[in-house]
Amino acid sequence: MKSDEEQIKKAVESLGEQLKNDASQEKNVTQLADEFFKNGHMPKDLLNLSDQQVEGLYAQGYNFYQTGRYKDAVQVFRLLIMLNANEAKYILGLASCFHMMKEYKNAVDTYTICCVLDPENPIPYYHMSDCFVAMKDSYSTIIALEMAIKRAGSKPEFQMLKDRALLTIKHLQEEIKDTIKAEK
C-alpha cells in the first residue's frame, strides 16, 4: 500500500518536472517561430513542406470543389490559407466553396479578401456580384460589377466577363427604375 503511494508520488513529481521542462521548451519554440515569421517565412516553411506538396494539397481541394464536395474543399482551402495566407487562389477557392454552399455573406467577405490580395483581378468582383444578386442587393451588385469591369479593362481574356457584367448592370438599372416607378 505504502509503496503504491510512493510510486504515485514519484510519478506526480516526475510529471511536474516534465511540465516545467516543457514550459521552457514551449517558450523557446514560440521565440523561434516569432523570429521565423518576422523574417518573412510562412508556416509551410516551418513545417518544411515543399511547393510541390502544397500544390498537391491545392489540387486535392480543387478536385473536391469540382466534384461538389464543398465542405471537404473548405477544409483543404482553410489549411492552405494557414500555410500561406498571401496566395490569392487559396482564398478564391474558399470563397467559391462558400458561394456554392449558398453561404453568400461568407463568400462576399472572402471574395473581398481576394480583391485586396489580387487587386487587378476582376473575377472575385464578378463572383461577388452573383452573391449580391442571391442576397437581393441590386445596388451592391452594380458596384461589384462596375469594379469587375474596371479591372477587366481592355484585356481580351476578360472580354466575355465584361460583356456579361455590362448586360447585368443594364438589366438591374432597368429593374430599379421600374421599382421606383411602381412605388410612386
Query: CATH code at 14?
Result: 1.25.40.10
pLDDT tens, residue by residue, 114-156: 999 999 999 999 999 999 999 999 999 999 999 999 999 999 9
> How many structural domains is the chain composed of?
2
Q: Are residues 129 and 76 in the same domain?
A: no
Q: Are residues 66 and 155 in the same domain?
A: no
Residue 85's φ and ψ, nearest 5 degrees, are -75, -5
Q: How far apart are CA 104 and CA 14, in angstroms?
A: 53
Determine the Cα angle at 161 with ends 155 and 163, to 5°: 95
DSSP 101: T
Reported pTM: 0.76
Q: Are residues 61 and 11 in the same domain?
A: yes
pLDDT attached to residue 106? 98
- Helix 123-134 with 138-152: angle, nearest 10 deg: 170
pLDDT attached to residue 55? 92
pLDDT attached to residue 50? 81
pLDDT attached to residue 54? 86
CB-CB contact of 153 with 136 (8 Å): no
* Residue 108 resides in a domain: no
Per-residue pLDDT of the chain (184 residues), as tens digits, is 455 556 555 555 554 565 455 555 555 556 655 665 566 667 766 677 788 988 999 999 999 999 999 999 999 999 999 988 899 999 999 999 999 999 999 999 999 999 999 999 999 999 999 999 999 999 999 999 999 999 999 999 999 999 999 999 999 999 999 888 888 7
pLDDT attached to residue 43? 72
pLDDT attached to residue 6? 60
pLDDT attached to residue 2? 54
Q: Considering 56, 76, 102, which residue would you say is the last residue of a domain?
A: 102
pLDDT attached to residue 112? 98
Q: Are residues 5 and 68 in the same domain?
A: yes
pLDDT attached to residue 8? 57
pLDDT attached to residue 180? 87
Alpha helix (H) ranges present in 39-158? 43-46, 51-66, 70-83, 88-100, 104-117, 123-134, 138-152
Q: Considering 102, 135, 154, which residue would you say is the last residue of a domain?
A: 102
Q: Are residues 90 and 48 in the same domain?
A: yes
Q: Whole domain around residue 62: which residue ranges?
A: 1-102
